[in-house]
Amino acid sequence: MGLVSSQKSYILLLLLSFLNVSTIYSRKPSKEDVLFGGNFPAMYVIGDSLVDAGNNNHLPTLIKANYPPYGSDFEGGKATGRFSNGKTIADYIAIYYKLPLVPAYLGLPDTRKDIIKTGFNYASAGCGILPLTGKIAGKCLSLSKQVKLFEGTINKHLKDSLVAPFSLRDHLANSLFMTVIGVNDYAFFYTRFTDANVFADKLLHKFLGKIEKLHKLGARKFFINNIKPLGCYPNMITKTVPRGSCNERVNLAISIYNKKLRDSLPVMKKKLNNTSFLYSDYFKFMLGLRGPSRNQESSNLLNTTGPCCPLDYDGSLTSSCKRDSPSCKAPDTTHIFFDPRHPTQLANFMYSIACFDERTICHVV
């Protein structure tokens, strides 16, 4: 089955621009043209491996991406700790809003934290909303710990650098707070015996509690991503019958959470003063790239079911993208998934087009 026309357009555009997003956002839009207004002084990222910019490099954990072939298409071809061959969706969001790429908080000395005013990335691979998620692999930063790091950022760094009257308040109120978290809670703790509604309610209650905490600290503008269709990722579909089909049970459970999340945002907007939400349907986006679940490969142009690294992926726990793993030569021309759990730079770029240009998956609440 071939790619739909819009996907073919993405690839053509990508090849022509060599992933140079300056060619995509070269026109100067008016303020009304910029989704969610723009003009953010900073961007603060809270999340998991989809947007980890290198925090796990500095934690005692097995979940790291600070070695080749990760980062092969990033600036300078360096593995930064991003779980992709290149830029993440957080990187493309920052670029769209004309901000520098947001640095990993744990990778910076205090002297740098004191002077940076354009935001920090607290995301940590393997972690989630629940405090114990991912801990079997080592230490990671849960949602609660990431929010505490942000609170520490205010007290230790921003208060000393934004000293003019109301400058700290205005900085926080006008900054963008991006979240993408929750899939690891399903990966580690959701089973066929779990009540999907009860589990979703538990996650949502904890997640919204942290949104309220961020609001109390001064945040007002939130970019909320829902949870990806985990059941269609390479690490899941090697175990399904027929092999290659999506795990619909897992996807349905995640869909229940996503709907509750989307429905909660108008309520939160009324509850929290002067708060705005942009909702990103990442589930819909990745499901669209993946194509029909019955397919092993939905396109002769792109592999949408198997990872670039390792090429010989068999779904076992020991089969992952390692330093010596055989990988594809040019992931941004052949694959949607870079490793069994994460997208390629190509997919992340396509997300930015769907969100900001077509505006089919990102909507202001």
- Tens of pLDDT, residues 265-288: 999 999 999 999 999 999 999 999
For 289, half-sphere exposure in the C-beta direction (CA atoms, 13 angstrom radius) is 31
Cis peptide before 242 (omega within 30 of 0): yes
The SS3 call for residue 116 is coil
Catalytic entry in 48, 49, 52, 91: 49
- Looking at per-residue confidence, does 3 or 52 come out higher? 52
Task: Work out the number of other CB atoms within 10 angstroms of the CB of residue 85.
Answer: 30
Mean local confidence (pLDDT), 346-363: 98
The alpha helices in the chain, defined as continuous H runs, are 5-17, 89-96, 110-113, 143-153, 159-161, 167-174, 183-189, 196-217, 234-237, 248-271, 282-290, 331-334, 345-352
Q: Measure the CA–CA gap between 150 and 142, rounded to whole angstroms.
A: 12
Q: Measure the CA–CA gap between 150 and 192, rounded to whole angstroms.
A: 36
Q: What one-letter code names the amino acid at 230?
A: L
Q: Which two tokens stand for residue 282?
A: 């990442």
Whether the per-residue pLDDT at 1 is higher than 50: the answer is: no
Average pLDDT, the chain: 91
Main-chain dihedrals φ then ψ at residue 337, nearest 5 degrees: -105, 130
Catalytic entry in 48, 91, 185, 339: 339
Q: Please give the share of the chain, as a percent, with pLDDT higher than 70.
A: 88
Which range among 24-38, 178-192, 279-293, 295-309 shows the weakest confidence by mean pLDDT? Answer: 24-38
Catalytic entry in 157, 171, 215, 342: 342
CATH of domain 37-364: 3.40.50
Contacts of 211 (CB under 8 A, 6+ apart): 179, 222, 268, 272
What are the CA-CA distances from residue 221 to residues 172, 248, 269 (Å)?
9, 33, 10
Q: Measure the CA–CA gap between 302 and 257, rounded to whole angstroms.
A: 30
Task: Work out the number of other CB atoms within 10 angstroms of the CB of residue 364.
Answer: 11
What are the CA-CA distances from residue 235 to residues 84, 259, 314 (Å)?
15, 24, 9
Q: Is 339 a catalytic residue?
A: yes
Which range among 114-123, 176-185, 322-331, 337-346 shows the weakest confidence by mean pLDDT? Answer: 322-331
Whether the per-residue pLDDT at 9 is higher than 70: the answer is: no
Whether the per-residue pLDDT at 97 is higher than 70: the answer is: yes
- With cut-offs at 50, 70 and 90, classify the pLDDT of residue 342: very high
Task: Tell me what pLDDT residue 283 has.
Answer: 98
Mean local confidence (pLDDT), 106-118: 97
**Strand partners of residue 308:** none
Mean local confidence (pLDDT), 250-258: 98
- With cut-offs at 50, 70 and 90, classify the pLDDT of residue 156: very high
Whether the per-residue pLDDT at 296 is higher than 50: the answer is: no
The SS3 call for residue 185 is helix
- With cut-offs at 50, 70 and 90, classify the pLDDT of residue 319: confident
Q: Measure the CA–CA gap between 219 and 44, rounded to whole angstroms.
A: 10
Which range among 93-97, 218-222, 315-319 shows the weakest confidence by mean pLDDT? Answer: 315-319
Task: Tell me what pLDDT residue 11 has.
Answer: 53
Q: Which two tokens stand for residue 216?
A: 């109390």
Q: Please give the share of the chain, as a percent, with pLDDT higher than 90.
A: 82
Q: Is 342 a catalytic residue?
A: yes
